[in-house]
Chain A
Amino acid sequence: MTRIKRGYIARKRRTQIRLFTSSFRGAHSRLTRTISQQKIKALVSANRDRDRKKRGFRGLWIHRINAIIGKNKKKQYNRYSNLLYNMYKGQLLLNRKIVAQMGILKGNCLLMIANEIIT
């Protein structure tokens, strides 16, 4: 059989990967083998964290709602848990993101609603 070199097929493939990894730090953007590994790791993290991001933000919203509701010292049970319970009972279908945004921008509005709802 005649000798066939692979030519630049491998190099073409690897330059694509190198483009992706071009802003990484140190050896992770320079050495061919580590570049392949780092691209895989980066994509895995991105995939996983797209779902984590949703969890993270929900937790942040819950935290913020709790913070602003707890300041209203008139009612006794001023907690996030009570607010949510009473919202479900009263069939108020706001999600946490909106409630948290209300808390930041129109805090008094949220406190008015909370006062009415929380028994």
Chain B
Amino acid sequence: MKMVNAFNMKRAAAGLRRINLDGLRWRVFDAKGQILGRLASQIATVVQGKDKPTYTPNRDDGDMCIVLNAKDVCVTGRKLTDKERTFKDQMAKDPTEVIRKAVLRMLPRNKLRDDRDRKLRIFPSSEHPFGDRPLEPYVMPPRSVREMRPRERRAMVRAQKAEQQQQNTDGTKKGKKREAPEESA
């Protein structure tokens, strides 16, 4: 893995010559703890240049996006284990590919797509060779977590109460037996 990372670093700094305009900003996304799809859609918006007032659909004017901590990206539900080609395997092979594919598939499929791909630099950890550029961190919009479904909530409440029980009681079995039927009712 260390060898692969070193190779990626060189490649990441290399392709910069092809990108013409350098009036672009360098936006830094921290993927730690972010949800994969939501992060990818924000990145796609920035890479297309859609948050600028000078957006032109036939020109590629997006900012350079650097994504850090790609291996800490999260996924909700049971997606980590339940997919056919598991997410876990892909993370083991090459954690940057997950985010790159997610963003690429969110970009419009036209002639500018490859150029936009070149503007995306993803790094699995926090180190990146672009330390000397003027970087701008990107603040994600606040995330609205949906309410837990009732069954999950009940299970969580039960688990919490079980933990509290174990902390409170000092080992009397009778006490536990009395408390348990009260809860389930």
Interface residues of A (CB under 8 A from B): 60, 63-65, 67-68, 70-71, 100, 103-104, 107
Contact = CB atoms under 8 A, between A and B. Distances in A.
Contacts of B57: 60
A63 B55 CA distance: 8
23 contacts: A60-B55, A60-B56, A60-B57, A63-B50, A63-B55, A64-B53, A64-B54, A64-B55, A65-B53, A67-B50, A67-B51, A67-B52, A67-B53, A67-B55, A68-B52, A68-B53, A70-B51, A71-B51, A100-B53, A103-B53, A104-B53, A104-B54, A107-B53
Interface residues of B, number: 8
Nearest to A68: B53
A65 B53 CA distance: 7
Contacts of B56: 60
Closest 3 pairs (CB-CB, A-B) = A68-B53, A103-B53, A64-B53
A30 B50 CA distance: 43
Interface of B: 50-57
A67 B54 CA distance: 9
Nearest to B139: A73
B46 to A, nearest CB: 11
A67 B51 CA distance: 5
A109 to B, nearest CB: 12
A100 B52 CA distance: 11
Contacts of B53: 64-65, 67-68, 100, 103-104, 107
Contacts of A104: 53-54
A61 B84 CA distance: 44
Nearest to A73: B139
A61 to B, nearest CB: 10
Given A60-B57, A71-B51, A104-B53, 13 more contacts: A63-B50, A64-B53, A64-B54, A64-B55, A65-B53, A67-B50, A67-B52, A67-B53, A67-B55, A68-B52, A68-B53, A70-B51, A100-B53
Nearest to B57: A60
Nearest to A65: B53
